[in-house]
Structure 1
């Protein structure tokens, strides 16, 4: 299954943060961050755009599953709410970045020319269709709802004559596009909203298949690009983000799950506490037995990712890139890590923190190249 995800960057103005990064620069930075992720995963902070084609119900269900792994809240995920011009413009920009219009089929109703959002009609869903636009009843925003129960009263961007509630009989195709869907009910109605590359809205049949946008509840964005610590820091900042910080054990677990979600399993999940002391010994349960591990394999860069932690200014004084102290009670160091800068062996010591897919930290040489984790500004 091919998965392509683009997520919505934190709304910087809401957080009171000023960044010297334009919207277009952020999108370019994001594309650079995520271009090598397995399964073409393109994540950011608030909205996820999934380029797999899915009908409306399938898209809803898949949005619900996304935050289950990476959520910073207990809320289930939903299809995206686009209730302002800013949100509409941003989703439009991301849609064009993920699936450029000029690369899609020319037919207006081709699946990849639209993206599902979370707006759907919940009242008068069987309202009679009137063919002539000039004879239609005025559009009533109260008939449509986002997942939070609100209606698009303050902002809407419907195409001319939409929504029109056009019906379709069983066995009929929704358009003349060769891959368009077919109605499988006695009568199908256009009770869902989709958005095109120009940011215009259209009502659509739920059986049609499009990419879809989810509201995202995650915190961390992982890149498979192999970079030094300084390069990783610059790459995060170019996308309007910062290298990841971890304040407690819960956030450590969130980041660990993000690493696995975006980069894949390591096979070392049962080996926490087994590494770093120069020995391999039997540890953990399940299918994987740490005694069988080749000692060097655990240090393969694909199992680690740069974070923002470092002691570049003062040996042993680990700080995140925002200047706050790294260490907290129970900080999960790998065995013998954190107390050896390595400066006796190499001119540039082990001044930068990296985290493993099994959730332990190690101080490492900043000039080594590894994947890295960015964070949405708090």
Structure 2
């Protein structure tokens, strides 16, 4: 009797396990709009396709590498509304009053984004999610010098919805999204799954971006205002007509980690993101420097995890970054009709948003 009861108990347990497994596998996986926004068909979520056509980008060794810090700020109706002003200065003095008031914006009282300095003028592309949970208010260079004070930043011409395609925003050189393509908190940790989206890349336009107008291609909506001013030291000066703002770059499918001699775990994570999803050129670093967009806070998280900074300009990770940029090719046939080059995507499309 005991043996029979034990057998029935075992059968019941196995049946419950199978039922639970079947039930859980039938529940569709959903994603968090705050962590990976926009439609599954957005340019920021679309993998490279099997029909992608590649041509060399011709990127060389850079003296420096740095993070491009982006800000994503969720706001509530209970957050104070403060004035939002057009900044008078790109350099020091971003918080000086004098520019026109653009309106008011909900923002938590303790948010501080420092002024520029003589040696540092960050782009500070930012996306505020409005209290409606859908509308993105995007600007650059986000600056707020005192708690409870006004916010400063250039507005963007188009409104985007966090559930939509999300193409445009506060990356000033290209007009592309402030938060699409940004490496988010947690994505570079050793335990994190592969990065599931396109990246945002910055290069030295004076050295690499094509020297003749218009200087951009879809999905970018513009190039820098100084791109073709002969009296500007930042004038675009590259020789490759395909290398412009909005170009989608990716590591060709035949390359492997070992081919590049990658030495670090984060370097290998970036390799797979750049091969499976690629990265858009979104802005100018304005000197001999490469940059990749990170969410505010991810730089500190990276350093605490790995013991060196994301922008350290020596050592194995710096060497990996240069190897990755030098391996990039241009996806020539990235168009609205053939995102990522078209054909079977290298990875499954992003699941639906669940919130």
**TM-score per shorter chain, which class?**
under 0.3
Q: TM-score, normalised by structure 2?
A: 0.25
Q: TM-score, normalised by structure 1?
A: 0.24
Instruction: Answer 1 or 2: which has greater helix percent.
Output: 1
- Structure of greater relative contact order (alpha carbons < 8 Å, 6+ residues apart): 2
The structure with more radius of gyration: 1
